[in-house]
Amino acid sequence: MKTCVYVRCIDESHFLNAFIEHYINLGFDMIYVLYQDTQNTNYKLPNQYQNNVTIEQVQNSGNLMLDRYKDIIDTDTYKWILNVDLDEFLILNTIFLNINDVIQFYVEMNKKVNVIQFGWLWAHKFSTSAESVEQILSTRKLLIGKQENSTKIWYKSMIKSKYLQKMGTHISMFKEGKTYTVGYNKKIIRVGSRNQPNDMNTWISWTDTNNLRNHSIDSNTYKDGFLLHISTRNICDAFAKAQAPAAQVDKKTEDLIYLKNIFENQNFRKSLDDDDYLISLVKKVGYRLRSPLCSLHFGKLNNKKVLDQINKPLSRLPICMENSEYKKTELFALNMLAERFDKYFIA
């Protein structure tokens, strides 16, 4: 049975090869990439991936683009679709050799299964060194992937392509009258048939009510695998996302002059030792620094136990500087900031 991955790559081509390598190693047959490059980086797909990757040039329209371009997927050939982001790496338990083993496991539990879900696990990396995903799993705190003020873990879904009507971020809308039979954490749940509304927002509210986007923690949480969300891959990446023109309003930094000024501050290193200064910096930069710090309070897993029960990924994350426009003085300041923040996230 052939499977595919569906992902967006907006001005992040320097991370794309690591992502492709990882999912090809998991046994996925095709990776569909919604691609936009406003930086003219002239990304070239490596020859060994030519038959396994389809790149579609798109205009960034946020989450709406997932459904807008879904027709590029050959649903006759690829029977299962995993929709993830470029900073999310699926990690499987050692009982599974590849993604087809996971599918087989849940099909044997219930032959009607048409959704398989994987829970979020967060790791944050601020240093600008190149590290493999395995190194990140070994050295960073592994934080439970949920939102503030919630007791439930976020999940993302791999779905049977023949049921797809509208592509969503965490779980997609099925065709009218189809039942969701969901496998996750070594269990099966079913959500009955219904008439699907035309309004996507109404549908999202419905899935929240029925716990199809998040689930409570139990003894089997993360036991069959997890989606490692490396939402901060290095300090340059965090700042670039905070300043990106297409960033969501609640996740971007408006005070660009302030960001430039902090890099020129001669007392920057000394200032970083002051907790009050660090707090003001987080407030100025916003979501890209605040969110990782908030996640520290969500609870964490034992790194050794996690590593003992998962297949070891090999993919390597590159240094996010090669296409950067930062000056040497700015990079020096960013590295100091990365060193300060990494102290919170080292296991």
Report the 3 state secondary structure along 311-328.
Answer: CCCCCEECCCCCCCCCCH
CA distances to 10, 202, 244, 292 from 209, rounded to whole Å, are 31, 11, 33, 27
Inter-residue contact 88 to 229 (CB < 8 Å)? yes
Q: Is 51 domain-assigned? A: no
How many domains in the chain? 1
pLDDT (tens, 9 = 90+) of the chain, 347 residues, equals 899 999 999 888 888 999 999 999 999 999 999 998 877 777 889 999 999 999 999 888 778 889 899 999 999 999 999 999 999 999 999 999 999 999 999 999 999 999 999 999 999 988 888 888 888 989 999 998 877 677 788 899 999 999 888 888 887 888 777 788 889 999 998 775 544 444 444 443 344 434 677 888 888 888 889 999 998 888 877 777 776 655 555 666 656 566 666 666 656 666 677 777 777 777 777 777 778 888 888 788 888 888 888 888 878 776 554 445 566 666 777 787 888 888 888 88
Flag whether 31 is in a domain: no
| Structural domain includes residue 232 | yes
Residues 6+ away with beta carbon under 8 Å from 61: 68
The residue type at 151:
T
Identify the pLDDT of residue 83.
95
Backbone angles phi, psi at 155, to 5 degrees: -125, 155
DSSP per position, 159-178: EEGGGEEE--SSSPEEPTTP
Q: What angle do CA 321, 278, 87 make, to 5 degrees?
A: 40
Confirm whether 58 is domain-assigned: no
Which of helix, strand or coil describes residue 116?
strand
The pTM score is 0.87
Does residue 234 fall inside a structural domain? yes
The neighbour count for residue 151, using CB atoms within 10 Å, is: 9
Enumerate the H helices of 180-327 as residue ranges: 200-209, 235-243, 256-264, 268-272, 275-285, 287-295, 303-308
Output the CA–CA distances (angstroms, integers) from residue 302 to 258, 305, 347, in the order listed: 38, 5, 9
How many angstroms separate the CA atoms of 124 and 296, rounded? 10
* Position 80 in a domain: no
Residue with tokens 């982001």: 85
Tell me whether residue 82 is in a domain. Answer: no
Residue 174: both structure tokens together? 């099925």
Return the amino acid letter for 143.
L
Q: Which domain holds residue 133?
A: 87-347
How far is Cα 329 from Cα 278, in angstroms, rounded to an integer? 19
13 in a structural domain:
no
Instruction: Report the C-alpha gap between 248 and 299 in whole angstroms.
Output: 27
Calculate the alpha carbon distances from 342 to 130, 235, 334 in Å.
Answer: 14, 10, 12
Query: 109 phi and psi, to 5 degrees?
Result: -75, -40
Residue at token pair 């705190």:
141
